[in-house]
Structure 1
Amino acid sequence: MRGPAFLLSVQVHVERAQCRELACPHRSRLHGGTVSANRRMYLRPSVVAQPLLHRWYAWPYLLAPHTGALNLRDRLLPIVQAYLMAPHMHESVLSDPSRYGGPFLNPEGAGVEQVKELLDAMLSGGSAKLQLAEDIDQLRALLKEKAAGGSMEPLYAQVPESLRGRVELVYDTAHRPSFRFFESLMYRSQAFEREAQTMTLSAAPAAQPFVYGSPVLPGPHRLDVPVPFDSPLWDEFFAARLAPVDVEALAERLDVTDLDAFTALFQADAPEPYEKAAPDTVRVRYFNHATVLIETENTAVLLDPLIGYDGDGHEHFTIADLPPFIDAVVISHFHSDHFSLETLLQLRSRVGVILVPRASGGSLADPSLKTMLQALGFERVQELGELESHSIAERVEVTALPFIGEHADLDIRTKIVPMVRALGRSFMFATDITPVEPALYDNIADVIGRLDALFIGLECVGAPLKWLYGPLLDEPLSRQHNAERRLKGSDAAMADRLAAQLGAEHVYAYAMGLEPWLKHLTGSEYEADAEPVQQAALLAELTARRGVTAELLYRQAERSWPAA
């Protein structure tokens, strides 16, 4: 689905060599394996590395100790318990492809006993998180009962133990009581649970269940390495995508005993040299979903990285197609299809700075990206407030614009619309916004200026509020209000109005979770009759009336702009 607006580079991906048999007369001193000593090899571009917490995919609201506590108790444990009560019901539901993405557990061939073991491990290993969840409930009840407008000072002594010294009790200007977390202290608490962190490695991509409905259980095609995410050993492991590493020595440092399985992740062949953008040119590459790479000859800016791998049977840019060094990674908001720890960990040692939205300051539903990333071992993280800019290089900068929409009317401020300027060209990434208030961008027209391209999400249906935020709510929400308040973006008419208002010369619909290799993360895939796809076609019709091209980005795309 390619329109004239994009000059696509139909890159023919040559499949990387399959795993090669290694023969050597020297036995490894680790378990198994016949590997020559000090063999320096490269990590295969097909290797999948997924971070797990309590064997569940490590998505952001599970990673943060305080939001993770409520999600563990009120989302993940009920899924496992429901499965153990009626495993055949889950199997029956999941046999219907239209039910993919629901809260139904697919054990991927594991037996009921293994799921019982998982439940026991979640209850015991997650005890600190489960206690924190109970303590959050107790604190809410305390404030509801005793904070009636008077001083909060006497209540501090009654704050539950896991929250003592980690929260501030406050009123808003309508005298409604609440509390905020000192988030950096939450990551110093037992509820952070570094010991529950595991990286599961696979030699090649494979189909798997929806990660928010099913745990990632051990299997013969996985190598589990229980080393915390902040360990510099992971930087060394992922650096082997570009520079060879002593495989046996690295396995020993990671405490991997199955050397055969570990060595199968590596190859002797070096990666192909990276081809930079041409001089005086801005090259824009669409990787999938909301992931876009903007490059000049000597600078690279990567937005919302969520990137697939070689060898998945699809033609697309992969993690092997990234430059050796990325000057800046920009995260637009906290949702897991824009903040992917899986991808970020693989790039940690290759990134100059990670730019994230400025946090609101300890709200339960609005954790700080900067605080989380620092707790996970990322040292170079900088927050951007609304209308603030960060200079990447001469004539390359990122500006944070205000963001309305996709958060179901919750007071969430850790979100920005990134605008990237490079060599006189301007690109606005409106991700999942809902431009219900046109005056917003009228007020900052002078900041936006001329716009070469508008990238905008057309996920105009969206999940209801409780799908993501349900475990964090203080009170139940009516069915009507839950249905009305959705995690949605723009429709075609909204996107066309915004593009016309901003004077965008090109419009690209993206960020709709359509790529098949992301189905286990987004829960959806391309269907011609799906509403967002239909809206993309309508958008092309609407913009064409104004002489502007619009295109739905899918799988991969590339265009170059000359410097202005």
Structure 2
Amino acid sequence: MHGRALLSAYLSPSTVVQPLIHRWYAIPFLAAPHTGALNLAKRYVPALRSYLASPQKHERALANPSMFGAPFIDAGPSGPEGVQALLDQTLATGDPKLRMAEDIDTLRTTLRKLGDGRALTSIYQDLPESLKGIVELVYDTANSPSVRFFESLVYRSAAAQPEAQVLSLLERHNPRQPFIYSSPVLPHGEGRTDLRLPFAAEVLDELFAARLRPVDVEELAGRLGIAEADRAGFRRLFTAEAPRGYVPNETGGVRMQYFGHASVLLDFGGFTVMTDPTIGYDDDGFPQHYAIADLPESIDVVVLSHGHSDHFSLETLLQLRRRIKTIVVPQSSGGSLADISLRAMLEHYGFTDVVELADMQSLQIGPATITALPFLGEHGELDIRAKMVPMVRLGGRGFMFATDTSPVDPTVYDLVSKEIGQVDALFIGLECVGAPMTWLYGPLLDEPMSREHSVERGLRGSFAAPADRLAERLGARQIFVYALGIEPWLKHLTGCWYDPEAEQLKQSEILRELAGNRGVGAELLYITAERVWPVVDAS
């Protein structure tokens, strides 16, 4: 639009929408106030200080392409001045979170000192203000003391800080954006338009609805609180061209469309089920792929397998908030720091129909049955329950999404195989290398962990041989390798890219050979794919 006003226009399919908290990308462990407090205090503020102590060290490290994803800040054009400004702003405005992080650590120290089996009730009177009313002090069956959080109340505490939330809009994807875990998103004049609104604000749904229907851009800008000086940049996010729209499934069967990573859309007669939506945009400079413009106007069910940021994407979910009818999530254990409730988070951020499933629970919705199967591995051997291997039955077909699971004990699936029926397609991740456990969970731990143990308990999925054994035990008729994080438009989110020499891709070839020896097809999903399964008559 080049800054010119249009009375009526669509939000461009190339417009990127990034949710930020204190200018850091809103991964789930930052979006939850209590874990966000620990991440801000123990990951992000130290990272800013490390950079300012030696900007050259960070720049030299990132000059090596293989260091993309390492814990070094890429400040871009903002440089040290921008990082210093962010640190100053964070220390000035982030006190509710920083105080909560300090108070959590103080409370855990107190519990280690006094939690020897005696009653813990006397500690409540000395709880710091930031934790009053939102925690319960408990023992486990080994008589070890710990803290349980009332998560729905945590979102009502001062540490929720809706004023620190920003939706940052870009005209198109920046393929050079730094890794979101290591670098903040600094407002350094690269064409960003920042909406300083809480993620739960209903007016944002009007912006996202403009993907499908034209809006009065100037009127919307006023409703979003965009200053006159920023209006020209906001107008450039819109286009007079109508969106291409969703292509209906007219095959009569169950159609699968692969949107990248772990995002799979199933369509049976117009009834749609989508897994782990982390969706890219048009005009990103990469090979043609399904993008947010290719989604249907209404998605009947979204199924989220677990709460890692490449599977639980607030960036995508917020844009689809009013297009999703039902979201299915795994049930958490209830209040531990590592096992945050996905339901509580989604409801806080404005989602209205969220269904939790515990292991082996099923939801019948329309023509689909969704079952939560046990999910082994990939979570550093922490006691995390908010994870599931979704099994979707649709059109008489069975689709299992074993995403990042590691079948360390495949007997689990022997016990459930008779109940879940035929597996027509097994989707499985071969992220067999993985990051050390502390890379993700370090800020949440009571005490530091040795590098050796962190690596041993790395965040890894399956190798080829166990994946093939799992497929054989399930009688899977087709295997798809996915969720490797190698789509080029996701590099800033996953820290990965397509490398034929990477162990994950080598394992994919090994799996193809192993399965082929049994007469079963196995293929790697990459960039885009589409398949159709004829309906099976259930009678």
Which residue of the other structure, out of 513, 524, 530, is the alignment partner of 2:496? 524
Q: Which amino acid is the alignment partner of residue 214 of structure 1?
A: S
Matched, 1:552 2:537: no
- The corresponding residue for 2:259 is 287
1:364-423: CA deviation from partner (whole Å, max 9, x where unpaired): 1111000011111111111111111112213x1211111111001110000000011111
Whole-Å separation in 2 of the counterparts to 1:227 and 1:41: 22
Alpha-carbon deviation of 1:245?
A: 0.7
* Kept in 2: contact 1:331–1:355 (CA 8 A): yes
- Uncovered stretches (5+) of structure 2, i.e. residues with no partner: none
Alpha-carbon deviation of 1:446?
A: 1.6
Which residue of the other structure, out of 360, 366, 370, is the alignment partner of 2:339? 366
Matched, 1:140 2:140: no
Question: How is 1:109-124 mapped onto 2 (pairs within 5 angstroms)?
Answer: 109-124=77-92
Question: How is 1:229-308 mapped onto 2 (pairs within 5 angstroms)?
Answer: 229-257=199-227, 258-278=230-250, 280-308=252-280
SS at match of 1:520: helix
SS at match of 2:77: coil
Whole-Å separation in 2 of the counterparts to 1:487 and 1:114: 33
* Kept in 2: contact 1:387–1:401 (CA 8 A): yes
SS at match of 2:505: helix
Matched, 1:408 2:376: no
* Kept in 1: contact 2:378–2:404 (CA 8 A): yes
Which residue of the other structure, out of 294, 297, 318, is the alignment partner of 1:345? 318
Question: How is 1:502-517 mapped onto 2 (pairs within 5 angstroms)?
Answer: 502-517=474-489
Q: Which amino acid is the alignment partner of residue 373 of structure 2?
A: L
Alpha-carbon deviation of 1:560?
A: 0.5
Q: Which amino acid is the alignment partner of residue 233 of structure 1?
A: V
Q: Which amino acid is the alignment partner of residue 88 of structure 2?
A: D
SS at match of 2:9: strand
- The corresponding residue for 2:366 is 393
SS at match of 1:285: strand
Matched, 1:320 2:288: no
- The corresponding residue for 1:77 is 45
Matched, 1:47 2:15: yes
Question: How is 1:370-389 mapped onto 2 (pairs within 5 angstroms)?
Answer: 370-389=343-362
Question: How is 1:182-261 mapped onto 2 (pairs within 5 angstroms)?
Answer: 182-207=150-175, 208-220=177-189, 221-257=191-227, 258-261=230-233
Whole-Å separation in 1 of the counterparts to 2:226 and 2:315: 20
1:477-497: CA deviation from partner (whole Å, max 9, x where unpaired): 122211110100000001100
SS at match of 1:109: helix
Whole-Å separation in 1 of the counterparts to 2:23 and 2:448: 29
- The corresponding residue for 2:509 is 537
* Kept in 2: contact 1:280–1:423 (CA 8 A): no
Bigger mean CA deviation after superposition, 378-387 or 304-313: 378-387
Whole-Å separation in 1 of the counterparts to 2:5 and 2:279: 31
- The corresponding residue for 1:333 is 306
RMSD of aligned C-alpha atoms? 1.0
Matched, 1:105 2:73: yes
Whole-Å separation in 2 of the counterparts to 1:259 and 1:149: 62
- The corresponding residue for 1:13 is none
Which residue of the other structure, out of 443, 446, 469, is the alignment partner of 2:415? 443
In the superposition, the TM-score normalised over structure 1's length comes to 0.93
Matched, 1:429 2:401: yes
> Percent of pairs identical after alignment?
56
SS at match of 2:484: coil
1:504-528: CA deviation from partner (whole Å, max 9, x where unpaired): 0000111011111100000010000
Alpha-carbon deviation of 1:111?
A: 3.0
Matched, 1:56 2:31: no
Alpha-carbon deviation of 1:279?
A: 5.1
1:288-319: CA deviation from partner (whole Å, max 9, x where unpaired): 00000001122011100001000012211100
Alpha-carbon deviation of 1:34?
A: 4.7
Which residue of the other structure, out of 469, 473, 478, is the alignment partner of 2:450? 478
Whole-Å separation in 2 of the counterparts to 1:34 and 1:242: 21
Number of corresponding residues: 531
SS at match of 2:47: helix
SS at match of 2:329: strand
1:398-453: CA deviation from partner (whole Å, max 9, x where unpaired): 11111111001110000000011111000000000010111101111122211100
1:222-273: CA deviation from partner (whole Å, max 9, x where unpaired): 1111111001111110100001111100000111122211111111111124
Which residue of the other structure, out of 478, 491, 501, is the alignment partner of 2:473? 501
* Kept in 2: contact 1:107–1:115 (CA 8 A): yes
Whole-Å separation in 1 of the counterparts to 2:49 and 2:298: 45
Whole-Å separation in 1 of the counterparts to 2:79 and 2:522: 49
* Kept in 2: contact 1:373–1:381 (CA 8 A): yes
* Kept in 1: contact 2:432–2:460 (CA 8 A): yes
Q: Which amino acid is the alignment partner of residue 563 of structure 1?
A: V
Whole-Å separation in 1 of the counterparts to 2:60 and 2:378: 32
Whole-Å separation in 2 of the counterparts to 1:276 and 1:35: 34
Q: Which amino acid is the alignment partner of residue 85 of structure 1?
A: A
In the superposition, the TM-score normalised over structure 2's length comes to 0.97
* Kept in 2: contact 1:426–1:450 (CA 8 A): yes
SS at match of 2:84: helix
Q: Which amino acid is the alignment partner of residue 161 of structure 1?
A: E
Whole-Å separation in 2 of the counterparts to 1:253 and 1:151: 53
1:190-229: CA deviation from partner (whole Å, max 9, x where unpaired): 1011000001101111120001100001132111111110
Whole-Å separation in 2 of the counterparts to 1:529 and 1:250: 49
SS at match of 1:75: helix
* Kept in 1: contact 2:20–2:166 (CA 8 A): yes
* Kept in 2: contact 1:138–1:160 (CA 8 A): no
SS at match of 2:206: helix
Whole-Å separation in 1 of the counterparts to 2:245 and 2:31: 36
Alpha-carbon deviation of 1:35?
A: 2.1
